[in-house]
Chain A
Amino acid sequence: MPKIKVPRKSTHMDMTAMCDVAFLLLTFFILTAKFRPNELVEIVTPASRATETVKDDLVTISVDKEGNAYYIASSPRRKTDILEKMIEKYGTKYPVLSTMTVKQKAQFGQLEQVAFPAQSVPQMVSIQQEKLKKWKEEGKLTGVPKDSTNNELGDWIMATRFAYDNDKVTFAIKGDKTSNIKAIQRVIDVLRENDINSFKLITAMEGNKD
């Protein structure tokens, strides 16, 4: 009687398909991930239990350790609109703004943040982020003035509201853990003076401490 020969099968699995899937996913995640923008001021936000994710169209006012405020609007088109409104509303207050060229206005749209008084906006628009960062480290940048005598932050906020017109605009405050409460309260006050009584505080997600 002939012996039945069971054919020996290879234990080797074809990994090609699995490899394809792995790299497809990898490519997908890398492409969809949004990288953190190169921020001028490093702000370590406090952690909170909040769960609401941050939307893109926020207008953020950052407050750093020293208590300086920085005005950050997200989309370039909005930024140009805001600048136009700023010129329209406060052209007489800040005469240098009305002499800005079209190119400078376009450059303003690319600007990461307003970290200087309105007077120096025309010169600042063409300066590289890296250079600004160096100036910041040297203590040459002091943010947008927000005292009651020179409340430029309030003007920017007002211009923002005009630029968004009927669209809903959400303001957010992004403060550093260690920044003094006075600076934060001043920013809150400025917002309230401009009839913005509801806003967001940007915080980091808390680990499972509790």
Chain B
Amino acid sequence: MSQIDTSGGGSKGKHKKVRGKKMSTLIDMTPMVDLGFLLISFFMLTTTLSKPVAMNLSMPVKEKNDEKKQDIPESKVLNIICDKDDKVWYYEGFVAAGLKMTDYSPEGIRKAILDKQKLVDAKWKKDDKGFTQTICLIKMTNDANYNNMVDVLDEMDITGTKIYAIQDVNKLELEAIANGGNANIQ
């Protein structure tokens, strides 16, 4: 092993008494330490990776009548509609026309939100706290899944959009989607 013999020669056989070699009581602990730290690293890595996190979601108080609706400027609004097969549609303003289809990648919906933010920031300036005033209305068709919703909420966080709401998709939007993005207005 890695030990160096330290017995230092000793007496050179004056008395040739046969003795049992004195064994060291030291055990080499190195492999045991290795094992200990290996297990520690294993447990630490596995415990931190499976930790769930919580995301806050606040919904407006349910109103029985729609009288308390707030008027919002049309130019601030970006509608995001999650559809089946991880497709996502978006359009600006209130008129469900000219819907564009994209995906959940950074070049997809995130770019659309950021582009809209630039337009809004140019027109309305940022608010006192430096946040954009863009309003995102998130809607989900019946075929969307929960992952889509979390993805979009995540995008809100990434792009720093503070004002957003989850709403029901309306009939005109569904028609427009069925129509490949174009409004079906006569």
In the complex, whether A185 has a CB less than 8 A from a CB of chain B is: yes
In the complex, whether A22 has a CB less than 8 A from a CB of chain B is: yes
Range for the number of chain A residues in contact with chain B: 35 or more
CB distance from A33 to the nearest CB of B (A): 5
In the complex, whether B4 has a CB less than 8 A from a CB of chain A is: yes
Contacts of A210 in B (CB 8 A): 106, 158
CB distance from B103 to the nearest CB of A (A): 14
Nearest B residue (CB) for A182: B142
Q: Provide the B118-138 mask, 1 if CB < 8 A to any CB of A, else 0.
A: 000000000000000000000
Interface size on B, residues (CB 8 A): 52
In the complex, whether B70 has a CB less than 8 A from a CB of chain A is: no
Nearest B residue (CB) for A204: B52
Contacts of B52 in A (CB 8 A): 45, 53-54, 202-205
In the complex, whether B26 has a CB less than 8 A from a CB of chain A is: yes
Nearest A residue (CB) for B148: A181
Contact B4 A48 (CB under 8 A): no
In the complex, whether A63 has a CB less than 8 A from a CB of chain B is: yes
In the complex, whether A176 has a CB less than 8 A from a CB of chain B is: yes
Q: How many A-B residue pairs have CB under 8 A?
A: 164
In the complex, whether A1 has a CB less than 8 A from a CB of chain B is: no
In the complex, whether A175 has a CB less than 8 A from a CB of chain B is: yes
Contact A18 B8 (CB under 8 A): no
Contact B4 A8 (CB under 8 A): yes
CB distance from B102 to the nearest CB of A (A): 17
Contact A53 B29 (CB under 8 A): no
A198-B56, A204-B52 known; A175+B36 contact, CB < 8 A: no
CB distance from A8 to the nearest CB of B (A): 6
Contact A46 B151 (CB under 8 A): yes
Nearest B residue (CB) for A200: B54
List CB contacts (< 8 Å) of A167-210 with chain B: 172, 175-182, 184-185, 188, 192-193, 195, 197-206, 210
Contacts of A178 in B (CB 8 A): 145-147
Docked pose: A46 CA to B146 CA in angstroms: 8
Docked pose: A115 CA to B54 CA in angstroms: 23
Contacts of A165 in B (CB 8 A): none
Contact B32 A201 (CB under 8 A): no
Q: Which of A23-31, A79-87, A156-164 contacts its partner?
A: A23-31
Contacts of B62 in A (CB 8 A): 192-193, 197
A19-B32, A188-B59 known; A179+B146 contact, CB < 8 A: yes
Contacts of A45 in B (CB 8 A): 52
Contacts of B144 in A (CB 8 A): 180-181
Q: Which of B13-21, B39-47, B71-79, B171-179 contacts its partner?
A: B39-47
A22-B36, A198-B58, A203-B53 known; A8+B8 contact, CB < 8 A: yes
Q: Which of B8, B28, B47, B56 contacts A15 (CB 8 A)?
A: B28
CB distance from A148 to the nearest CB of B (A): 14
Q: List 18 A-B contacts (CB under 8 A).
A: A7-B8, A8-B8, A12-B26, A29-B40, A36-B50, A49-B154, A49-B157, A50-B54, A52-B56, A54-B52, A181-B148, A181-B149, A195-B61, A200-B56, A201-B56, A201-B57, A204-B52, A210-B158
Across the A-B interface, the 7 shortest Cβ-Cβ residue pairs: A22-B36, A15-B29, A50-B55, A200-B54, A175-B146, A46-B150, A46-B147
User: B-contacting residues of A (Cβ < 8 Å)?
Assistant: 7-12, 14-16, 18-19, 22-23, 25-26, 29-30, 33, 36, 45-55, 58, 63, 172, 175-182, 184-185, 188, 192-193, 195, 197-206, 210
